[in-house]
Amino acid sequence: MRGPLSAVILSLACSAIGVPAPDAAAAYPNPLALQGPSFFVHDPSLVQRQSDGKYFLFTTHDKGGILTATQLAGPWTEVGSILPNDSTIQLPGRDDIWAPDVSYHNGQYYAYYSVSTFGSQNSGIGLATSPTMDPGTWTDHGLVIQSTTGAQYNCIDPNLIVGGDGVPRLSFGSFWNDIFQVQLGSNLQSTVGSPAQLSYNATGSHAEEGSFIWQRGSYHYLFISSGTCCGFDPNNLPAPGDEYKVFVGRSSSPNGPFVDKSGVDMRKTGGTLVLASHGNVYAPGGQAVFHDTKSNKDIFVYHYVPVNSPSPYNDSYATLGLNGIDWSSGWPVLTSL
């Protein structure tokens, strides 16, 4: 989950991991049409404030960029950053926050975030908290977990899940041995025990990252992004299906094992395809799930590269994607909003 730019931009406009069938794209619904001016969005985390229902959107770069809106369709407004004075984590990238994951617990909003540089395992996951999510209200608590060169995992792309058992767990990971999970202490700031692997793609460069776990009924669903996320050359694009796309597995437990629709373990290159490139949507990923209290719907949240941007396939125009989710089959199927 690594977007290429730090500046806000002008315009917002198969069951196993691998290449989706060429005609599969026709089945994907288009994302919600967004109103008003638009901004660079990558690795989005979407939260509705408890007090007034206002929407807060958090994104990679801009030191944990914050945008707000009163309607999902916008218009969205850039209002500031989580950590305008940089992270206290003393690692390269502390001035360029990645992939914030924000949720509400214990009367506070918790933002887990990544500090790293592109292609490095010298990475850390930190935590900041706020009573309101407004800029200027965030307190940085610093490092939660760190990885170094040669570790089994890479500590970026955090996601907090407090499962049906009430135990807080943090999933994370990017490439290397892919997705891991570690239990957190009751303060949500310290780790308990050692991380365990949740998902692994044995093919190619092991390109999995951006894990997100969502509980629906008796199941916990593990979503991951797989493939090339960014830095596309429109004259030399990845082979079709090698760009970003989203897969899922499920488990009755928040710590797995997660299996796909065919029963293949996510740790053994399993995964059911949820979303891939189609139409104007290229390389969708960086996903999350959000429950909208206004519509009483679960919303699939992601970024994508719009093909019809001023510079086609240029991920400096990465934008917000929103779709509904149909759970009636026991698996997430995206719908229009």
Q: Is 62 in contact with 81 (CB distance < 8 Å)?
A: yes
Cis peptide upstream of residue 75 (ω within 30 degrees of 0): yes
Is residue 80 classed as helix, strand or coil in its secondary structure? strand
Catalytic annotation present for 43: yes
CA–CA distance, 158 with 301 (Å, rounded to integer): 16
Q: How far apart are CA 84 and CA 236, in angstroms?
A: 36
Scanning the structure block, which residue is given the tokens 């951006």?
A: 210
And the tokens for 215? 């509980």
The answer to whether 290 touches 48, Cβ cutoff 8 Å, is yes
- CA–CA distances in Å: residue 55 to residues 36, 68, 74: 15, 6, 9
- Which pair of tokens denotes residue 151? 């570790």
DSSP letter string, 272-291:
EEEE--BTTEEEEEEEEEEE
Do residues 227 and 238 touch, judged by C-beta distance below 8 A? yes
Catalytic annotation present for 134 = no
Nearest partner of 273 among 27, 43, 69, judged by Cα? 27
Residue 27: CA count within 13 A, CB half-sphere: 12
Listed in sequence order, the residues at least 6 apart from 202 whose beta carbon sits closer than 8 Å to its beta carbon are: 268, 269
Please list, residue by residue across 195-224, b when 16 or more beta carbons sit within 10 angstroms of its beta carbon and e when fewer do.
Answer: bebbbbbeeeebbbbbbbbbebeebbbbbb
How many other C-beta atoms are found inside a 10 Å radius of the C-beta of residue 81?
Answer: 21
Strands 98-105 and 108-115: antiparallel
Q: Catalytic one among 62, 157, 178, 209? A: 209
Residues marked as catalytic:
43, 209
